[in-house]
Amino acid sequence: MTAPAAIGRFEGLEHRFGLRVYFEDTDLTGIVYHANYLRYMERARSDMLAAAGIDQRAVFEAGEGAYAVRDIALRYRTPARLSDDLMVVSRLTELRGASVRIQQRVMRGETIVAQAEVEAAFVSPTGKPRRQPQDWVAKFEPLLWKGN
């Protein structure tokens, strides 16, 4: 028997991905090591795509390409600690021919722990930018955040 992957859920236009801070996520003081926020956000982005019906693996294996982070601006606001329950809230804020921009917040309850603005570019297997698959664009369009 296999367990289904936990891919979070959409609430309106926001994708929510829950996680718990484990000992392996922390430094000597019990605070989440700074690079692990990037891991949390990557997991949330990947699962957001899956929840939207996008199969990254199939497109990659078909030789079409994959997303690569082109730019990220990350701000740490307050530390997360061992055993904290966190929620990564992601929203698609820009959709272009060959890229997407996603805002992400790592939350502990109502407190923003870290936040990021991420641009992911769709690239060919040789690493050159290319248009993302049209069916992906069609799945993204209804999820585009139009607020400020």
Catalytic status, residue 71: no
- DSSP 8-state class, residue 20: E
CA dist., res. 50 & res. 46, Å (int): 6
- The CB density around residue 54, as the number of other CB atoms within 10 Å, is 19
**Pure H helices in the chain:** 36-51, 56-61, 134-140
Which positions are catalytic?
Answer: 27
